[in-house]
A and B are shown apart, each in its own frame.
Chain A
Amino acid sequence: ILNVEQSPQSLHVQEGDSTNFTCSFPSSNFYALHWYRWETAKSPEALFVMTLNGDEKKKGRISATLNTKEGYSYLYIKGSQPEDSATYLCAQDSNYQLIWGAGTKLIIKP
């Protein structure tokens, strides 16, 4: 059974500051790593799907990097805004399933 871990569990960030958090996953038999953004009372929305070691993807102020050899991915948010407040989930693609981390809850303080 794969184990995907995210840290920190929660994070308070001042509006305007940049931040990042981590997703760790088993590096063996890697296929893909997913990032999702999950706002309260809504459903998760995909941010990125990353497959290649060294890959970096960007969507607006949010970017992610991937290291498949050491088994980690970072999500970066530049210049945090109140609308960035959400839980950020990562998941490893494994044999038709996604193995989910518990998420990092991000709270932006105005």
Chain B
Amino acid sequence: NAGVTQTPKFQVLKTGQSMTLQCAQDMNHNSMYWYRQDPGMGLRLIYYSASEGTTDKGEVPNGYNVSRLNKREFSLRLESAAPSQTSVYFCASMGPNGQPQHFGDGTRLSIL
């Protein structure tokens, strides 16, 4: 019962460095999502993928890119990290027809 697996759990970067956050789900869900959560704020959608081969911008896409590698995997890339991207990042997946979203454990990312 792995559900949604995110790696890494923690990461510290220097400004300007790049990195990719990995996400994989084993529930055969079509839709996958990347969110960020900042203190005092709720979940904000960065990008989502409604199905394999498609990706769309969410509320806060600037500074990020995504890849839907296959049905299982959806990665989030920071090309040139900035301190404003310090946050907790959650990946989620969702099945069709009114099913709930399932979340990974989150990645705590600090940009110095």
Contact check, A46 vs B98: say whether CB atoms are below 8 A apart.
no
Q: Which of A20-28, A59-67, A77-85, A89-97 contacts the other chain?
A: A89-97
Known A44-B101, A45-B103; 13 more pairs at CB < 8 Å: A31-B98, A34-B101, A36-B101, A43-B104, A44-B103, A46-B100, A97-B33, A97-B58, A100-B42, A101-B42, A102-B41, A102-B42, A103-B42
* Contact partner, B106, options A43, A49, A97, A102, Cβ 8 Å: A43
A46 to B95, CA, bound (A): 13
The chain B residue sitting closest to A41, CB to CB, is B106
User: A2-53: which have CB < 8 Å to B?
Assistant: 31-32, 34, 36, 42-46, 49, 51
The size bracket of the interface on A is 20 to 34
The residues of A that contact B101 with a CB separation of less than 8 Å are: 34, 36, 44, 46, 98
| CA of A101 to CA of B41, assembled, Å | 10
One digit per residue, 1 when the CB lies within 8 angstroms of any chain A CB and 0 when it does not, for chain B 36-64 equals 00000111010010100000101000000
Interface residues of B (CB under 8 A from A): 31, 33, 41-43, 45, 48, 50, 56, 58, 90, 94, 98-106
Majority secondary structure, A binding face: strand
| Closest partner residue, chain A, to B56 (CB atom) | A96
User: Given A96-B50, A97-B45, A100-B43, do A49 and B100 touch, yes or no (CB 8 Å)?
Assistant: yes
A→B interface (CB under 8 Å): 31-32, 34, 36, 42-46, 49, 51, 89, 93, 96-98, 100-103
The reply to whether B99 and A49 form a contact with Cβ atoms under 8 Å apart is yes
For A43, the chain B residues whose CB sits under 8 A away are 90, 103-106
Distance A96 CA – B23 CA, assembled complex (angstroms): 18
Residues of chain B within 8 A of A34, CB atoms compared:
100-101
Name 7 interchain pairs, CB-CB below 8 A, sorted by A: A34-B100, A36-B101, A42-B105, A45-B103, A93-B98, A96-B56, A102-B42
Q: A100-B43, A102-B42 are in contact. Are A46 and B102 (CB under 8 A)?
A: yes
Instruction: Give Cα A42 to B103, complex, Å.
Output: 10
Residues on the B chain within 8 Å of A93, using CB: 98
Considering the chains assembled together, what is the distance between the CA atoms of A44 and B92 in angstroms?
Answer: 10
